[in-house]
Structure 1
Amino acid sequence: MSKEQAAQHRDAAQAEQGDGAQLGTGTTAEAEEAVIPELVIISGMSGAGRSTAAKCLEDLGWFVVDNLPPALIPTMVDLGARSQGNVARIAVVVDVRGRRFFDNLKESLADLADRRVKRRIVYLEASDEALVRRFESVRRPHPLQGDGRIVDGIDAERDLLRELRGDADLVIDTSGLNVHELRAKLDAQFAGDEEPELRATVMSFGYKYGLPVDADLVADCRFLPNPHWVPELRPFNGTTEEVSNYVFNQPGAKEFLDRYAELLQLIAAGYRREGKRYVTIAVGCTGGKHRSVAVSEKLARRLSGAGVETVVVHRDMGRE
């Protein structure tokens, strides 16, 4: 090799090293700028409102990916981390349409936990009756029913998702919710830039329509006289001043509200210590129109005054 060739070879090597150093510097800077995005996994029963939940989060500025195979969730998080903060919040819809990949979900969740990715699981469900009614209204088969009936597909899906439901951070029963009420619940959980310490849903319901399956706490107002039997109050509901005044003028009503609000403050403190961020408080009466509605409204105001972000849902009001 001539001296000229050796010099050229040396210069090329130095240039290559320089390029490598620059690449390494860029990679380090890129790593320093990488911000692991917040992740929400939306799942649950087909027909329970996953699409509505996804659209709601998209409207709130989340980057939403529908029907992503679970094995690709960590990859999606990596891509978000490389976006230099442009994709700070990712919502992924995972359901039985990707059933070939569903077994990978547990491994993906374990991978995310090892990397300390902040993730939440939102699980949407509804009663068999509500799901059958929704599938029949759109004349579509259930994804898992095969040659059987819609209820066969629903049963198969519940079995498949049972473990995921147990791991969920937030369970929402949409049986008695319309689209606007579901969006209101999700807005309360995800709209704020800064997460409050605790978020609460206060839900009135009627015992004759069944207990809310997503309730964490249940209070029974049937010990109070029923405005239903007062002819001039029967047409109204618990949001009106007339019914509310009637309910809280009954013996024990104000004391019940005071004591239960105090109990909730104690429970809320425990939830915060345990890292629980969402709670659904169900308040029931016979029909879910008068007593439970009035108490729910007052209770929600108490919780809001105590610094708990609260949304009120009247599940059965108007069903009679």
Structure 2
Amino acid sequence: MDTVGLLVFVAVGIVVLFDFTNGFHDASNMIAPVIASRAMTPIQSVVVVGGFTFLGPVLGGTAVANTIGSFVTLDDLPETLSLVVVLCGILAATAWNFLTWWRGLPSSSSHALVGGMCGAVVVSAGPEQVVWGMEALTRGEFTGVTKVLLALVLSPIAGFWVGFILQRITLFLLRAASPLVNWELRGAQWLTTAGLAFSHGANDAQKSMGILTLCLLLAGDIEEFHVPLWVVVICASAITLGTVLGGWKIVRTLAFSIYKIRPLHALNSQLTSAGVVFLASVIGAPVSTTHVVSSSIMGVGASERPKAVRWTKAREIATTWVITIPGAGVLAMLGYLVVWLAGLAL
């Protein structure tokens, strides 16, 4: 096996690992609300979430993968160097995922991926190799990093306000309902949980699909950016496995540290999150499921009792979000410098 082939082989392993960490990082986003509202047992939620997470990338198209695979341009670099750069970026994102998982903080795999890739490309090939998208923005077009960042910023805002409004509407519609309605709401959560899991798989797994396809393109294994079926299957399997194993430290954070969740809160949060993430997947916008779910929970809680929302915990989570891109970027830069000093960046 030549050097390029070896790097592609390593890339597959690292991307699968990143996809796996993405899965166990985001498992809590879908599992926490249904457990907190007692709509499902942990085992039931894992089965439903795992199954529909797998179906998401298989049936959800490749629009997000196309976006992720095009916000950096490495075609004019030597094959070996371009693959090393991508590996440094994805390794940094994976390391950041592990770090925040260990600390029990709901960080964003999407932010980590963007930060890691941009950091690795900037330090190795220069900022001109990143498709920032600022010039296109002046023409009203959304491309490159600008498109990615806009999606990451606007999606939690949408999650908060859609959740806020939806909670107000359902509270009005159910104002005369008896407490027995909670049983029906818990039953409906089986559908919203499945929808959120499908949307999560359709959006998040495509990020790994995009990076892996980019590696294949840089190595000359494919002639144009087109996601092969085996890439879809392997990424779907990795994120599903990570989701099934889950991250219980983050479950506690989301389920009990932001707002005391009841069946109606969980239903509206999941319905909001599923809608926002699915719409983003359709238009090819990579978003953070963690951000959307967390913000929707806060929106639902603020709609009913703003003072009951634990804003201190929300600020702690927001701080983690803010530092993710530069944090992963710095890790990627340091990783590339180590590779360069070792004489491996050829």
Structure with higher strand content? 1
User: TM-score, length-normalised on structure 1?
Assistant: 0.22
Task: Decide which structure has greater helix share.
Answer: 2
Q: RCO greater where, 1 or 2, for CA within 8 Å and sep 6 or more?
A: 2
Taking structure 2 as the reference length, what is the TM-score of the superposition?
A: 0.21
Q: Pick the structure with greater CA Rg.
A: 1
